[in-house]
Amino acid sequence: MNNVSQNRVCSGWHRQYTHDSEVLGCEMRFALFLPIGATTTKPVPVLYWLSGLTCTDENFMQKAGAFKMAAELGIAIVAPDTSPRGDDVADDDSYDLGQGAGFYLNATQEPWSKHYQMYDYISQELPQLIEEHFPVSSKKSISGHSMGGHGAITIGLKNPHRYRSISAFSPICNPMNVPWGKKAFSAYLGDNLELWREYDSCELLKRAKSELPILVDQGDADNFLAEQLSPEQLIKAANEWDSDVTVHMQHGYDHSYYFISSFIDQHLKFHAKYLLMER
């Protein structure tokens, strides 16, 4: 790993690192916030944050205002990039496909399948790297925004043994039935609808009760709400098995980081309740 930047913040450290990913076959960058007091003898739990379309590791760390509460709670935060990147990595001219738009899945179609294995990277390779090199424990939760909210919920639902809790801001709840998801799934996964269902939060919740608590915040002034996000479908799917899913509709809030920064403390406290439990 290469430490490319660092900043002292809230008595802890924000650092950016690059590393060669075997899973993605390219160099990747991630950001890490470590609170003061994190040591090898006193490791801290981790919240993984997955960002949305066009974002990198920098958006959340610079705009969310999460450091103060994370420091108070004693929680590390890891923010990976949203896709593989590089000159030899497949891309598209549109913002919602290709680099910056990995959708946190394992692509099966060319030219995407060579590098776009974000599901394995987020759920396996990156946590192993973090736990090997930094003073953190194996206790982790997952959260995200928009495309990253979709990633957080699907990855958490499919790996309840790896995480303690799930949360999301403005997630793409039912991607196989909205334009963003249809475009990405068609390109990355082809026409295999059964495979599409493996990366759809609503479809996963229809199969079984969630083993993890889920918190979702959605702004009712979000310009993507009606066409792309479908929180009502998430609520309907969760109710089928009485899953522990709480959805807050927040009046007047949009899709931006103004919204995220307004409620990030509540999400951090929600995760701390489970990350700091002894089990």
pLDDT digit string (tens) for 96-155? 999 999 999 999 999 999 999 999 999 999 999 999 999 999 999 999 999 999 999 999
pLDDT digit string (tens) for 65-79? 999 999 999 999 999
CB 84 within 8 A of CB 98: no
227 confidence band (pLDDT: 50, 70, 90): very high
Q: Tell me the mean pLDDT in the region 156-173.
A: 98
277 confidence band (pLDDT: 50, 70, 90): confident
Please provide the distance, in angstroms rounded to a whole number, between the alpha carbons at the two ends of the chain.
31
Say if residue 279's pLDDT is above 80: no
pLDDT of residue 179: 98
* Catalytic site positions: 146, 222, 255
- DSSP type of residue 86: S
pLDDT of residue 278: 73
